[in-house]
Amino acid sequence: MRLALILLALLTVPAAVSAQPRALPDGYLSTRGSQIVGSDGNPVRIAAVGWNGADGAANVPQGLDRVKLRPTMQQMLSAGFNTVRIAFSDRVLTGRPARDTIDRLRNPDLIGLTALEVLDKIVQTASVVGLRVILDHHNNEGGPPPMRLGGQQPSGLWFDLGPGSTGEDRGDGTGNPGTVTAETFRAHWVALARRYANNPTVIGFDLHNEPSGGPKGNGINWGEGGPTDLHAMCTQVGGAIQAVNPDVLIICEGY
């Protein structure tokens, strides 16, 4: 089994690709050297717009209380993007949308769904309008209490409970009690991989956003071993994902 770990810096325009974003070809993408290529082997450019909110208190992308889902995603496409990068926390896999984060008149088909089912609807809508999706893990607990505003996990780690998360980095670094072990983190990614297996609308999994954000002494390293070895996490979690969803891109950000 071949595992391609894609550094975020590679999501730039290769020399052979036009600077004008184009729709991505059908099917999954893969890597060839420093380039990302389509199923036909030709280089492509991922032009992604970030959509936050599911990494915070809402548990769903921001704005669904103000705009309709499909026209909004059509506007993303019209603006020149071919991909939407959705930030999320582990709470998306177990929680529900926060109160008043979805307007029942603008998005009636999203009312009553779990946060994960709302994500399904977004993926489905992306497929209809011609966008692709990258899922981007930002934090474990949805951000700092009591508002849980989301964003990057202050500890700089991808888990907040168990070996490697002690001392200064206890919990997620904001005072939230830790609930996500390294094993839970991997299990959540595998669950998402299974959920979107054989669905090339979801082209990539960004394993953890900005791991360099942690304080000094959090133990994060690249290939030196231990529970905070980023290279080992990317290899192990990426391998577990590809065991159930072998064609998706695995994106590993450096620290």
Q: How many CA atoms lie within 13 Å of 17's alpha carbon, on the beta-carbon side?
A: 22
pLDDT for position 82:
97
pLDDT for position 228:
94
Query: What predicted TM-score, i.e. pTM, was given to this entire model?
Result: 0.90
| Residue 13 reports pLDDT greater than 70 | no
pLDDT bucket at 167, cuts 50 / 70 / 90: low
pLDDT for position 121:
98
3-state class (DSSP) for residue 254: coil
| Residue 169 reports pLDDT greater than 90 | no
pLDDT for position 5:
44
| Residue 182 reports pLDDT greater than 60 | yes
Report the C-alpha dihedral over residues 11, 3, 204, 111, rounded to 10 degrees: -160
pLDDT for position 14:
40
Distances in whole angstroms, Cα of residue 70 to Cα of each of 64, 98, 100, 106: 10, 21, 19, 10
Per-residue pLDDT reduced to its tens digit, 114-146: 999 999 999 999 999 999 999 999 999 997 777
pLDDT for position 190:
98
Inter-residue contact 108 to 58 (CB < 8 Å) = no
pLDDT bucket at 112, cuts 50 / 70 / 90: very high
Burial category of 100 from C-beta neighbours within 10 Å (exposed 0-12, middle 13-18, buried 19 and up): exposed
pLDDT for position 172:
81
Interacting residues of 205 by C-beta distance below 8 A, sequence separation 6+: 134, 135, 189, 192, 193, 241, 248, 249, 250, 251
Interacting residues of 99 by C-beta distance below 8 A, sequence separation 6+: none
The superfamily CATH assigns to domain 5-251 is: Glycosidases (3.20.20.80)
What would the DSSP string read from start to end of 30-69?
EEETTEEE-TTS-B----EEEE-STTSTTSS-TTTTTS-H
Per-residue pLDDT reduced to its tens digit, 189-232: 999 999 999 999 999 999 999 998 666 678 899 999 999 999 99
| Residue 153 reports pLDDT greater than 90 | no
pLDDT for position 17:
40
Tokens of 84: 């939407």
Per-residue pLDDT reduced to its tens digit, 79-93: 999 999 999 999 999
pLDDT for position 59:
96
3-state class (DSSP) for residue 132: strand
* Amino acid (1-letter code) at residue 133: V
Tokens of 53: 């909110």
Residues of the chain above pLDDT 70, percent: 87
H/E stretch holding 135: strand 132-139
Per-residue pLDDT reduced to its tens digit, 22-65: 789 999 999 999 999 999 999 999 999 999 999 999 999 999 99
